[in-house]
Amino acid sequence: MIQRVFDAERTSINLNNGGVSPAPTHVLERMVRDLRFVNELPAVHNGQILEPRMESPRRDVAAEFGCDPEELAIVRNASEALETMILGIDLKRGDEVIITNQNYARMVTTWKQRARRDGIVVREVSFPVPLTDPGVLVRAIEAAITPRTRAIELPHITNLTGQVLPIRDIVRLARPHGIQVFVDGGMPSPTCRSSATIWSATTAPPRCTSGCMRRSARVSCTCAATGFRCCGC
């Protein structure tokens, strides 16, 4: 059933559903339909008909996630989401950020770009793979924290090896220091279907996005990926 949703070239096997993910056929058809519609009379069809509808998907997704639409941004991919955060966070010369040597390459180059532009310091920690003891990474990050540390950015799951990182423990470590934590959820796991899960460790954690949240339910549950309890089940 899933195969029939995609117009895939069947003589090869596509193992890359990250950076070059194919769209389902019905999504592609709707994109072409709307493009043709805009092209017929751009000033009217785009500016007066389609553009006013742009906020409706954000409202619908926000309702599903149980948050205010103003707390949600829909972007093209996880890299764009993280780059918006990395390039937008208020950092001054000498401020420090911590990343790992297995961060997604685009995020590493974006931090280095900020270092060249603004004089911030990027501290990179390493960890063994497989990470049989998550405490090894937590302790490495703890050792890298200084009074100038302002942010920690790391993936939930590395695209290089599929290693799952102990996000919950790292957020708990960062919170008392007021350090913001950016989590790259672009490589989703079966237990957490978020795409670009980004939040600040200085604020309350978001509602669980693992699929367990149902607004009609009367019981609470815990996201298996992060350990955060849903705050509105």
CATH of the domain at 101: 3.40.640.10
Domain assignment of residue 97, given as a range? 78-199
Give a yes or no: residue 84 inside a domain.
yes
Give a yes or no: residue 219 inside a domain.
no
Q: pLDDT, tens digit, for every residue of 42-54?
A: 999 998 998 888 8
Q: What is the dihedral of CA 122, 123, 126, 127, to 10 degrees?
A: -110
Instruction: Work out whether strand 149-155 and strand 180-184 pair parallel, antiparallel, or are unpaired.
Output: parallel
Give a yes or no: residue 54 inside a domain.
no
Give a yes or no: residue 138 inside a domain.
yes
Q: Same domain for 102 and 188?
A: yes
Higher-confidence residue: 224 or 41?
41
Q: Same domain for 107 and 179?
A: yes
Name the burial class of residue 180, with classes exposed (0-12), middle (13-18) and buried (19+) by CB atoms within 10 angstroms of its CB: buried
pLDDT at res. 212: 42
Q: pLDDT, tens digit, for every residue of 173-197?
A: 999 999 999 999 865 443 333 333 4
pLDDT at res. 78: 85
Query: Alpha carbon 68 to chain centroid distance?
Result: 18
Give a yes or no: residue 83 inside a domain.
yes
Categorize the per-residue pLDDT at 14 as very low, low, confident or very high, splitting at 50, 70 and 90: confident
pLDDT at res. 44: 95
**Whether the predicted pLDDT of 104 surpasses 60:** yes
- Mean pLDDT score of the chain, rounded to an integer? 82
**Number of compact structural domains in the chain:** 2
Give a yes or no: residue 158 inside a domain.
yes
pLDDT at res. 214: 37
Q: Same domain for 125 and 188?
A: yes
pLDDT at res. 7: 87
Q: Same domain for 34 and 101?
A: no
Give a yes or no: residue 147 inside a domain.
yes
**Whether the predicted pLDDT of 89 surpasses 90:** yes
The helix/strand count (H/E) of the chain reads as 7, 5
**Whether the predicted pLDDT of 1 surpasses 60:** yes
